[in-house]
Amino acid sequence: MSASAPERAEQVDSPEELELWRRAEASGDAELRGQLVERYLPLCRAIAASLYAKRIADDAEFADYMQYATLGLIEAVDSYDWRRGVRFNTFATYRIQGAIRNSIVNFSERREQLGLAYRLKKERIESIKHAGETPARAPRRGAVVREMADVAVIWALSYLLEGSGMLAPRGDAHYTEQFYDGLEMRQLKEKLVGLVDALPDQERRVIKYHYFQNLEFTEVAKIFGVTKGRISQIHKRALVLLREAHAIAGGIDLEL
Amino acid sequence: MDPISQANPVLDALRRQLAENIERLRRAGKLSAGTRNAAAARSPASPESLEAALRRKLAAIDRRSPDGLSAATRSFVETVLVAEFGAGLLTDPGFGQLAAELCDSLRAEPEVREPLERMLAEL
């Protein structure tokens, strides 16, 4: 039986999406590829949440499901052929589900989970431990105090964003907070997560991939088509700008 | 290493973009005037006032004792975070955890610990 017109319409991607796929393929532009990945992140989150809700063991956290889902999405973007007339959502759903299931099956040891958290933290520290401006020689004490304060604040921002993928979107069934956080800490974290959207494009995307999707710098570098070192630089700059955004918006509440 | 310089033309351009984006979010209704003092929020503690606050706090700590520099680091971290994010954090149970983790991380990195302890000893 053939599908009716509205049903057929739902089986193909919108003209806007198809145009994006055409342009990405024709140009080979990493930026357009990144836009495609970002466009489908909500799908990724929905699939990860669905499988996480049906999990039969607690050896992996939601953040792990999100990471594997995002990697599955990236593979789907790279292998999708829009000419075949299959909607990307349909094509990607199977691949994202497969990526999560395969990874979770291979993920039986808690050590691997700790390994990811350790790697993520280590590369953040490497990226930000020289957050301040380094004086050439014999710096004034005030300059040293400021530089050390810069390092501490940028470092704190990284801690505050850690696990923030669980904060967004609010109202999500998987919204969680650190059990020891009170109102002030929760509001600060929510404000910072909201201010990520104010960052310039490149910085915003690096923060979202790394902190919200739990991708390592190497994986983010593959999406951007640049080196891991470059991502590390953008990450540090993003935290510096996020600090400034917080200072500018300090007297402003986010409508969450 | 890629030091973040305050006089960096790329960073200046990104700062302009940041300000525009904040304004765009505000116009879109995603930001609204808050209850905190905006002027105070936009004026983070100057290096001098931060240094003065640190001196006051550190005066009560014997930095030559075995745990002196560890206690001084904790005091430094708490002072800096409160200057940056507001004194409201002091009443939050999560703040102690954040400060403790931050102290441990800073002290675990020799490149940071050494200049930090030197600064704390000299203040």
Between these two residues, B66 and B36, which has the higher pLDDT value? B66
pLDDT of residue A133: 47
Domains, chain A, ranges and CATH? 9-105 (1.10.1740.10), 110-248 (1.20.140)
pLDDT of residue A184: 87
Question: Worst-scoring range by mean pLDDT, A65-74, A98-107, B109-118?
Answer: A98-107
**Contact list, A142 vs chain B (CB under 8 Å):** 47-48, 51
Residues 6+ apart with CB under 8 A from B44: A247, B83, B84
pLDDT range class, residue B6, cuts 50, 70, 90: low
Average pLDDT value for residue range A214-238:
93
Spatial contact of A32 and A24, defined as CB atoms under 8 Å apart: yes
Measured between alpha carbons, how far is A252 from B30 in angstroms, rounded to an integer? 10
Spatial contact of A61 and A92, defined as CB atoms under 8 Å apart: no
pLDDT range class, residue B42, cuts 50, 70, 90: very low
pLDDT range class, residue A128, cuts 50, 70, 90: confident
Tell whether the model's pLDDT for residue A63 goes beyond 80: yes
Q: Does B33 touch chain A (CB under 8 A)?
A: yes
ipTM exceeding cut-off 0.90 for this assembly: no
Measured between alpha carbons, how far is A77 from A72 in angstroms, rounded to an integer? 9
Q: Does B53 touch chain A (CB under 8 A)?
A: no
Q: Does B102 touch chain A (CB under 8 A)?
A: yes
Measured between alpha carbons, how far is A180 from A153 in angstroms, rounded to an integer? 21
Q: Which residues pair with A253 in a beta bridge?
A: B32
Measured between alpha carbons, how far is A172 from A212 in angstroms, rounded to an integer? 14
Interchain proximity B14–A148, CB inside 8 Å:
no
Taking the model in full, what pTM does it have? 0.69
